[in-house]
Chains A and B, each alone.
Chain A
Amino acid sequence: MEYFKIFLVYASYVIFGYFLFVQSFYILLMFTAFPCLTRRMREVNSDNLLSVLRSESSPEFSFIVAAYNMEQLIVLVIDNLLALHYKKKKIVIVNDGSEDNTFEILLKRYKLVKTGLPRRPQLKCSKIRGYYRSSIYPNLIVVDKENGGKADAMNAGLNVTTTPYYLQIDADTVVGDDAILRIIRSSLTKPHVIACGGSIGIGNQCIFERHKLKKVMFPTNFWAGAQVVEYIRAFLFGRLGWNSYGGNLCLSGAFGFYDRDIAVSVGGYDLAVAEDLDMTIRIHRALREKGKPYKITFLPDAMAFTEVPSDLVSLLRQRERWQRGVNIVVWRNRNILFNSKYGFLGLMSFPILALTEAISPLIEAPGYIIFAIAAGLGIVDWTYVFWYLALALLFPMVLSSICIMMEILSVQVYNPKTAYLKMLGYVVIESLGVRQMLVFVRFYSFFLFIFGIESWTNVKRKGIQSE
């Protein structure tokens, strides 16, 4: 019993130290993110990029959309992309062996005709059934292939892409005109930008006008609402904060803009899960090894809206899959950890990613239990427990509230505007229940990864409710 008590005391110290370190680091990120955000908003507000983007000088790029069993959403997403006011765009849809009617819908709706093969496929992918082009929209290409996962579908899409840049977008994601202009703007206003990513918002309820995204409503569904807070926190201060240090390690797979040649030169997409994180890290590695100057940036004001799980089971499945992906990527790139050859990436951003994303459930989940036992047995002082709770529960709440304020300060996308008050309620719920539940799912996922067990993957979709 004595040893058990000593273990509890020291374990609680370690857990407390972890929380203290992580939260202090978050404060540092927040203070870095804030000036970035204000500078960015000032620049964007006084800029007139439309004149360039409407002209012959705008860069050509392709949207690559990997679609698997997306019959509910695919037409809405493609119509949204076709309606975007940008001249030099191509749209490449990859039907990744869908078992539903996705391909038949595409064939009929866009009057597809079979066309030739791409010049030289540079990346390996599953067997291609056919390449198609729309006879109504000449810039719409469809690749029909056998199922091989998202990364495989993205590679098939990259093979037919001939533009210097491409924009990876999920088949359940919609974008507005502004977001595209802002993404393109970054490639024009900063030298050496080879990839940039935008923010992701919750688009379970959107209003469209002539296929264009007009309004994003705050979701009425409880689980989707709780994720709004989580997404704002992750994007607005996490990724934005890393921007200043050039250490952005993940551009969202739902909305990421890449230099095609660089993506191909690193071997294209590789992993079935967390392919976005894997791709970004491989680009970082390749360019650092070659000693080439580059920038991977995150743009807080370029927003795409995606459908998120709206029931508990789907949410848990999604998080389990994400955690597995992060673990795989961290394990594959473990030789970067504390490797000075990779500079800031190896010494700072990657170790922090490993600690806060991969290893964190191993500390956080047992942490709640250990502290509860230690406090219950009176092993640790109640003052200590109070401060632990302040750090683990109260602090994330304050941080989330600040992020919501930053959202109001910058983009303010959700409607009606009173939804922001509702969001504050969700902050409490998210910090005092949802977050802990997700930590335990991630903890479970970590063990599945260790023992190499594949688990549930399918996420139930209801489709973006549109008007």
Chain B
Amino acid sequence: MRGTETALKIVITITMIELVLVFVASILIIFTRIYMGYRKKRYDRIRKEITSYFFQSLEKNANPNAFVLPRRLRNLRALLTVIEDIDETIKEANWLVLKEMIIKRYLFPKARYSAKSLRWMRRNLAARTFALFPTKEDEDSILYLVSDKVPLNRIFAARAAIALATPTLLRRLFDMMVLEPVKNLFNLRDIVVNGSEIVYQWMQKELKRETDINMRFIYLDIFSAKKGYTIRQLIDLDLKSDVKYLREKAVQILIQFPTKEDLPLLKPFLKDPSEDIRAHVAKALGNLVGESAFEELKGALQDESFWVRMQAAISLRRLGKIGVDYLNQVGDNPDMRGIVDYALTVSDRELQE
């Protein structure tokens, strides 16, 4: 029984400690609630005041160099957020001048200091600042931030790099893109696609001498996503490449604006080992080449891949009467019935796509 009593004492002590800890936790929570509420309100108030300060200055058309932010409003994160919000909607010249002045005076000192900080939120402040107003002076910091381990910081730094478009920055950016997993490419690729003419000229120059397959894939991927831009003369080697995904991208570039003259060039790809490529070409033939592709599409309708046959059937439907008549003719074949039915009932919206 003595053992039981000791056990009981231990249990009571532990339970008492637990209850005390719970009590401490409650007190902590109450204090944190009060403190965080205060902080949030203060932050929101500062943001509002900064915004009204900016608009007052813009309305008065005051000299931007004379703009001074009161000390109590110098919360850099709030300042940055306000500038980002206004920058999305206002593109007027006086705002751009005011923005430049504010960034240079208040944000640059902190951003340059924090660009290589160990804390990601600080690096984030730097990256966001450089994305708003990139300068040659900060090339080193942007270079560092482009390879940041936090995707969000990389995105902001990539924007700055694309805006500056110096060869060193572009080189690092593309090196990073090669290292990214394919699914994460969206982070940077879409930013590059929206880049200026300088970026595209640099990419063309690089594509001419680049031999690394992965790097070529990145370039071709971007060119294939860019509307109204073609680089046929640079993709001859890629069209003959043994690497499927490289060939696929090259074909995508080739079929961006196909004409009747391209038919001999596209025709061999209907026999490509990759069904994706055959399907792309079957789709493109119906899309833009027109009736001259009728014979090729007839052949593609016999393809071993269901997906290619489906695309060929839709393309034949696009050709108009000649294609529809042929589909009705082959539709008697039970193997073709499903595909033909689908192609004939496909909606106009899908045909346009």
Contacts and interface: CB of A to CB of B under 8 A. Distances in A.
The answer on A and B forming one complex is yes
Interface of A: 13, 16, 20, 23-24, 27, 30-31, 34, 38, 41-43, 45-46, 48-52, 54, 56-57, 59-60, 113-117, 119, 133, 135, 138, 164, 185, 187-191, 259-261, 381, 383-384, 387, 390-391, 395, 398-399, 401-402, 405-406, 408-409
Given A54-B88, A56-B194, A189 B25 contact: no
Given A50-B85, A56-B194, A395-B18, 20 more contacts: A20-B14, A24-B18, A30-B25, A45-B43, A46-B78, A49-B152, A52-B156, A54-B88, A57-B188, A59-B186, A113-B347, A116-B346, A117-B310, A185-B152, A187-B151, A188-B155, A384-B11, A405-B30, A409-B29, A409-B32
Contacts of A49: 152
A381 B8 contact: yes
Contact of B186 (A43, A45, A54, A60): A60
CB-based closest 10 A-B pairs = A164-B183, A48-B81, A56-B190, A188-B152, A405-B29, A409-B33, A57-B155, A113-B347, A51-B84, A46-B77
A164 B189 CA distance: 14
Interface string B146-161: 0001111001100100
Contact of A189 (B28, B85, B151, B347): B151
B187 interface: yes
A387 B16 CA distance: 10
Given A51-B85, A57-B155, A135 B32 contact: no
Contacts of B88: 51, 54
B71 interface: no
B33 A135 contact: no
B221 to A, nearest CB: 14
A56 B191 contact: yes
B36 A409 contact: yes
Contacts of B243: none
A54 B121 CA distance: 20
Nearest to A88: B186
B179 interface: no
Contact of B190 (A57, A188, A399): A57
Nearest to B81: A48
A41 B36 contact: yes
A135 B12 CA distance: 68
Contacts of B121: 43
Interface residues of B, number: 56
A41 B36 CA distance: 9
A384 B8 contact: yes
B207 to A, nearest CB: 22
A405 B186 contact: no
B38 to A, nearest CB: 12
B120 interface: yes
Nearest to A390: B15
A164 B25 contact: no
B15 A391 contact: yes
Contact of B15 (A20, A119, A406): A20
Contacts of A56: 190-191, 193-194
A185 B32 CA distance: 24
Contacts of A23: 18
Contacts of A261: 183
B33 A405 contact: yes
Q: In the complex, which of the residues B22, B84, B156 has the most CB atoms of chain A within 10 Å of its own CB atom? A: B22
B350 A387 contact: no
7 contacts: A34-B28, A42-B39, A115-B347, A260-B183, A387-B15, A395-B18, A395-B22
B36 A42 contact: yes
Contacts of B12: 383, 387
B186 A164 contact: yes
A189 B29 contact: no
B307 interface: yes
B347 A135 contact: yes
B40 interface: yes
Given A46-B43, A51-B85, A188 B151 contact: yes
Nearest to A45: B40
Nearest to B44: A45
